[in-house]
Amino acid sequence: MMIKTQQTSISLPGIVLSIMMAGFANAKVPEEQAAKLGGSELTVTGAEVAANKEGTIPAYEGGLKSPPDCYKGGEFLCDPFPDDKPLFTITADNVAQYQDKLSPGQLAMFEKYPETYRMPVYPTCRTFRMPEHIAELTKKNALKTQPVGPTGMKNYELQGYPFPIPNNGLEAIWNH
């Protein structure tokens, strides 16, 4: 659809696209919000530091401080909690009581393989730890990285999370 005026023609899709992109133009987070990163409220990646109210997710305490004893340099990280035991196991017999916590794909596995599919549920451990220099770059990114359309960014430090406090789904995807 075109809107004709005396001087120019304006494309309605162009106007809509311009309005949509204006929201991306200033995607940086305010300084007071970015200051919470790495503090007592938010981890440097934007997750809540506090435990959840049910107590099933513990408070974040900085993650693994050093590699586990079983780690051998140059190899994949071994299980840092080899002695952990499952809290419970979900099976086809008890899946109904947990269905509100499971994805459609997980529920389908219980349906397709009722005799063999099991899901042991272990205590939650918040092990993630980011190198300090990457954490600092992530904090800088929060203040200045901006999306450019659906496929680009500007003012990104090239390391760290570009949008530790995402304002929309696109920014959340960029963090992965």
**Which pTM was predicted?**
0.71
Is 63 among the domain residues?
A: no
pLDDT of residue 122: 96
96 lies in the same domain as 135: no
Is 6 among the domain residues?
A: no
108 lies in the same domain as 147: no
117 lies in the same domain as 135: no
Of 96, 121, 146, the last residue of a domain is 121
Per the structure, the complete domain to which residue 95 belongs is given by: 88-121
pLDDT of residue 16: 45
145 lies in the same domain as 112: no
How many domains is the chain partitioned into structurally?
Answer: 2
pLDDT of residue 18: 46
Is 162 among the domain residues?
A: yes
Is 8 among the domain residues?
A: no
Would you give per-residue pLDDT tens digits along the chain (176 residues)?
Answer: 555 555 555 555 544 444 444 444 455 889 999 999 999 999 999 999 999 999 999 999 999 999 999 999 999 989 999 999 999 999 999 999 999 999 999 999 999 999 999 999 999 999 999 999 999 999 999 999 998 888 888 998 889 999 999 988 889 999 88
Residue found under tokens 């530091």: 49
pLDDT of residue 6: 55
149 lies in the same domain as 176: yes
CA separation (Å) from 21 to 18, 32, 84? 5, 24, 48
Is 15 among the domain residues?
A: no
